[in-house]
Amino acid sequence: MPEPLSQIDREAWRFINSVSVITVAVEGVANAMSAEWCAPVSLKPPLIGVFVGEERFTRRLIERADTFGVSLLAEDQAWIARACGRHSGSEVNKLAEFNIPTEPALYIPAPLIAGSCAQFECRVLDRRVYGSHMLVVGEPLRAVGYPQKRTMAYHRGHYYTLGEERTP
C-alpha cells in the first residue's frame, strides 16, 4: 500500500462540477459564496453537502448558522459565480455591491439567487472538518427546480454551457 498523498498533482484535478451559491445569514449579516463542491449526499432522506474552506467568511457564518441556502447557478450566471467566488464577505457586501439578483426564502433568513436552476433552503444537520474544508450537510426544508433553465458547468477555472449528449 502506498502512503496517502500529501497533495494532488494539479493535472489530476479534472473534475467537472456545477456551481452553487451558498447563502447564509446570521444576526442580520447575509453573505453569498460560490461553491463547486456542493452535491447531494443522500436521496432518502434528501441531503445536500457543501465543503467550505477554512479561510472563507462563509465558514465563520455557517459555523454559527442553523440554516443555509443553495442556489444552483444557470448557464447565464457565470458572472454571479465570479462575483461571489472572487470577493469575500469580510470585505464587501457582495449581494448589494454587485447587484446580485435575490429573492426571499420561505423558511430561512438568507436570500436565494433569483434566476438560478434550482434553490434549496436547508437546515444544518451536521458539520465535520476534513482538512482545510468543513463539510456542512443540510436537510432541505424546501427545494424548487426550474426545468426551463440549464445548469452551468465548471472545469479548471472556466465556465461552460452543457454540450451535446453522448449516447453510450
Residues in contact with ligand FMN by CB under 6 A are 19, 31, 33-37, 51-53, 56-58, 81, 85-90, 154
Residue nearest to ligand FMN (CB): 85
Question: Which positions ≥6 away from 73 have C-beta within 8 Å?
Answer: 18, 19, 20, 21, 80, 81, 113, 116, 117, 151, 152
Nearer to ligand FMN, 85 or 115 (CB): 85
Question: Which positions ≥6 away from 40 have C-beta within 8 Å?
Answer: 46, 47, 48, 49
Question: Which positions ≥6 away from 52 have C-beta within 8 Å?
Answer: 22, 33, 35, 58, 59, 62, 133, 134, 136
Question: Which positions ≥6 away from 68 have C-beta within 8 Å?
Answer: 22, 23, 24, 50, 62, 108, 110, 122, 124, 136, 138
| Least CB distance to ligand FMN at residue 142 (A) | 22
Nearer to ligand FMN, 106 or 162 (CB): 162
| Least CB distance to ligand FMN at residue 94 (A) | 7
| Least CB distance to ligand FMN at residue 154 (A) | 5
Nearer to ligand FMN, 106 or 155 (CB): 155
| Least CB distance to ligand FMN at residue 143 (A) | 19
| Least CB distance to ligand FMN at residue 100 (A) | 12
Nearer to ligand FMN, 44 or 86 (CB): 86
Nearer to ligand FMN, 46 or 85 (CB): 85
